[in-house]
A and B are shown apart, each in its own frame.
Chain A
Amino acid sequence: MAAPAPMKMETDSESVESQIIELVTSFPQGVADKVLIANMPYVDPKARAQAINKLLVEEKIDLFKSSEGLLYRLKSPSKAATISGDQEEKIVFRIVESSGNLGSWIRDIRAKSNLGQTQLNKVLKSLEGKRLIKAVKSVNATKKKVYMLYNLEPDHSVTGGAWYSDQDFESEFVEILNQQCYRFLYHKLETSRDGSAGPIAAKNSSMVSTKDVAKFITDLGISKVALKEKDIEAILNTIVYDGKAEKCEGGESGSLYRAVEPLLPSAGLARCPCGVCPVIRRCGDKGNIKPDTCNYFRDWLEEF
């Protein structure tokens, strides 16, 4: 029996690689090892293994293990291949990249990459030095740092959105917005009272929608940041919780708001010094804190 002539082995590695890539591209869900072999029978197994290894290093394909054996899948081009750095840096970079603009916490990176603490720190420092990733402080937990790609905008949940600037809650800004919105609503309420077309008409004319308020605020121009409708709604909600406004169900354009007067102008108890006394619980007949010698009483009675 004549031995079949040894087939011409393709040892040209580049063409092997390009064939493999073609194959993997045409099967985006992955190519099993057996399929690979079947499609390239003339390739020397050693050469094939070499080509596959090279592609893996260049990160053009990914190696998975499925129930039937090994699976190769095309990898979306990642910047990881382009950076100069060793394997660990590439792994860490890929993990950081995958977390998008939420960023990943150092513990997560460690879990995913299985690197040691000190080594990971070194890698992160070098990547930061190369300006490939950056650390962003999370506003929820001040000690926590998340890493994300250098040029990405951190997500709102991390920085807090329009209300935070450099991790500081801009309380004055919020206060000013609060006051302005309330003034707008109150002004509407007052003008509605002057009308004499009956109570329902008066009530309707005192209502404003979120859009009106947003327009008013942007016209005022007190905000450096462009405020979205959701932000304005958050401010309006705080006014509702202050008890100065109420929310009504509107028609098409979402909810309407109107200013309201509180039911009681002020509580009688608060007009007496005891009502607002911080040590009322320790006040009694004996001891230092007595009504007869109370400082608060004295000051209150002195002022005329």
Chain B
Amino acid sequence: MSDSDPLTKLLGQIVSDVFGETAALVATDIASFTVKTFSQILSSTSLSIKEVRAALGVLIQHRLVSFSDTAKPGKVDYLIQTENILSFLRYPRFLYLVKTAHGDEAELMVEEIIKSGSETATNILFRTAKRLHESQEVPAQPPNISDLNSQLVSLISNSLIERSEQLGQNTAATAVLCPNLVENKLLLNTPVDVDEKAISTAVMTKCETVEPGNDQDVLWRLNMKKCEQMVRDQMIVAAAGRRVDKQAGLVVQSLLRIVERQADATVSAQFSHQAISDQVAADHGKDSLAHIYLDQYLRVLGDDRTRFVDRVGDSGGGQYHVDLKHIITDMVEGCLDCIILEKFSSKAVRIFRYIREKRFVEEGQLQQVVMIPAKETKMLTYQLLENHFIHLQELRKSVAPTAPSKAFYLYYVDLPQAVRTCVSVCYKAVYNCRSRAKFEAVEHSRLLDKHERIETIAASLKASGGTEEQLEEVAEMMTPPEKEAVKKIHAKLDKLSEAQSQADETLSVLRLYLDYNSMA
């Protein structure tokens, strides 16, 4: 296990945290080979058939493993879905995004979907309503199911939630080992009718489950792509806001909305000035500064080094498009610069940027331009080289290998390679943070358990109407230094989880860049 690469270890860790050891074993096993058959899993994990089957069932339900038998009909291959496992790290951020965009109830609904992988609409509504009902202090009116339903519908129409694949038709009459899942593109975002009354009564009577309705066959799941797109857009808008000013950020937001409506590509299709103008007016109002100075903002955004928008034609008052690949490349370069800044020093950043600009640089020339003492330049350059941020290219002057001929050694930056190194560091960082959090929890488990017990006792006392004295007694069960220690531990764990999500942020930007690079 210790020999596996950082990604496999991280995947294993995430799965074990959420689903337990067995599932983690199976997941790691498949991940180390990417694709495996059932018998291979059995032999390499030496678990029983029942266990493997149960683990696979859970993993498939949550779409962390997918199956297909196209490679060898009759034998089913199980593939690991790395992206989906890593998205576990991002759920907190997504939930926050959904909350800000659509409200608290929508957040609860999305949470329910995440918890169960994929669910029918009836179940989603039922469970959300139940939670809302229970969390209310005084049992009042049950939550309005039709309101919830309309929220669900709006989530669907924004494609945050989409229909899962459905069972396709079997072509042959013979029994098929592997079910055929078909994605229904047309119905991806059309909502189903739910029996609102039935749900409502179920909630009122505090049932555990609700009667399955007409929409039994239709399962809904979270659209990860859309969530990541939302995060990406947020980042780009923030960057534009920093570069120019806030109003420019709003203009870029409208531009990205237009791009969203088009097909997915690294460079968007062209759209006219009129379309931009309408969108900005719709989003921010005709009186906003963004609208008044729209032409100027478009000019400034286009002239900027990052080229947030490009003018590609003059017909119709100006044709524009957005080159997403270029924007992301620029952001990734900025990200790498920040990492080098923190890891080494600002002089190293200067050297790195210079080599990146000029593509191929000789050592002597470097020192002249960056104005850093020669010794320091050399040391920093070699440090960057060791950490794979820059590479060395050799140009021999003569072909004969025997003579000690002078060869030119040039430094250059291979951006995809440097990004891949950073991605691997990110995986390690996230793994280490989680590892450390677990370790801290285990070390102080006695204290934390005590704290939890006291909290539950106090809560139950309150609920059943205990007196002030009783509450005080309970509170005194923990001494002040212990309380302090518990607070400290909580702060540490918070810090670790924050660091984890920040490392994950960087990871998502870097991975986005690698995806775009391989796409185009």
Which residues of A come within 8 Å of B, CB atoms? 140, 163, 169, 171, 174, 178, 193, 198-200, 202-203, 234-235, 237-238, 241-243, 246, 260-276, 280, 283-286, 290-292, 294, 297, 300-301, 304
Interfacial chain B residues near A284, Cβ < 8 Å? 2
Q: Is B296 an interface residue (CB 8 A)?
A: yes
**Are B343 and A237 in contact (CB-based, < 8 A)?**
no
In the complex the two chains form, what is the Cα distance from A301 to B440 in whole Å?
11
- B267 beta carbon closer than 8 Å to chain A: no
Task: Encode B222-265 as 1/0 by CB contact (under 8 A) with A.
Answer: 00000000000000000100111101100000000000000000
Name A267's contact: one of B342, B376, B501 (CB within 8 Å): B342
Contact B432 A274 (CB under 8 A): yes
Which of B2, B300, B492 sits near A286, CB closer than 8 Å? B2
Q: Does B162 contact A (CB under 8 A)?
A: no
B299 adjacent to chain A (CB < 8 Å):
yes
Whether the pair B371, A238 counts as a contact (CB closer than 8 A) is: yes
- Residues B503 and A268 in contact, CB atoms below 8 Å apart: yes
26 contacts between A and B (CB under 8 A): A193-B245, A199-B247, A199-B248, A199-B300, A234-B371, A235-B371, A238-B369, A241-B350, A260-B243, A262-B242, A263-B243, A264-B335, A268-B506, A269-B422, A269-B429, A270-B339, A274-B429, A274-B432, A275-B343, A275-B426, A280-B428, A285-B9, A291-B431, A291-B439, A292-B436, A297-B436
- Ranked nearest first, the 7 interchain pairs of A and B with the lowest CB-CB distance are A268-B502, A274-B429, A270-B342, A267-B338, A291-B432, A272-B499, A269-B506
Tell which of B293, B364, B495, B502 touches A301, judged by Cβ atoms closer than 8 Å.
B495
Shortest C-beta distance, A108 to chain B (Å), equals 20
B354 engages A241 (CB within 8 Å): yes
Is residue B454 contacting chain A, with contact meaning CB distance below 8 A?
Answer: no
Q: Does B207 contact A (CB under 8 A)?
A: no
Task: Give bound CA distance, A267 to B9, whole Å.
Answer: 23
CA distance A280 to B423 in the complex (A): 13
Number of A-B contacts (CB under 8 A): 157
Secondary structure class of chain B's binding surface, majority of residues: helix
- Which B residues form the contact surface with A (CB < 8 A)? 1-2, 9, 239, 242-245, 247-248, 293, 296-297, 299-300, 303, 305-306, 330-331, 334-339, 341-343, 346, 349-350, 353-354, 357, 364, 369-374, 376, 422, 425-426, 428-429, 431-433, 435-436, 439-440, 491-492, 495-496, 499-507
Min C-beta distance of A271 to chain B, whole Å: 5
Nearest chain-B residue to A303 (Cβ)? B495
- Evaluate contact between B353 and A243: CB separation under 8 angstroms: yes
Residues of chain B lying within 8 A (CB to CB) of residue A203: 244, 300, 303
Assess whether B300 is in contact with A269, with CB atoms less than 8 Å apart.
no
B505 touches A263 (CB 8 A): no
| Beta-carbon nearest neighbor of A248 in chain B | B303
Asked if A199 meets B439 with Cβ closer than 8 Å, knowing A263-B306, A268-B502, the reply is no
Task: Give Cα A291–Cα B10 distance, bound, in whole angstroms.
Answer: 13
A155 smallest CB distance to B (angstroms): 15
Q: Are B432 and A294 in contact (CB under 8 A)?
A: yes
Specify which chain A residues have a CB less than 8 angstroms from the CB of B1 in the assembled complex: 285
Min C-beta distance of A287 to chain B, whole Å:
9
Structural contact, A246 and B337, CB atoms closer than 8 A: no
Given A140, A235, A274, A292, which contacts B428 in the complex, CB threshold below 8 Å?
A274
Residues of chain B within 8 A (CB-CB) of A268 are: 501-506
Pairwise interchain contact B435-A292, C-beta atoms closer than 8 A: yes
| A242-B371 in contact (CB<8A) | no
Report the minimum CB–CB distance from A264 to chain B (whole Å).
4
Q: Which of A241, A242, A263 has the most CB of B within 10 A?
A: A263
Looking at B244, B338, B339, B426, the one whose CB has the most chain A CB atoms below 10 A away is: B338
Q: How far is the CA of A205 from the CA of B101 in the complex (A)?
A: 37
- Bound together, the chains give a CA A80 to CA B60 distance in angstroms of 95
Residues of chain A within 8 A of B306, CB atoms compared: 263
Given A264-B338, A294-B436, A200–B296 Cβ distance below 8 Å? yes
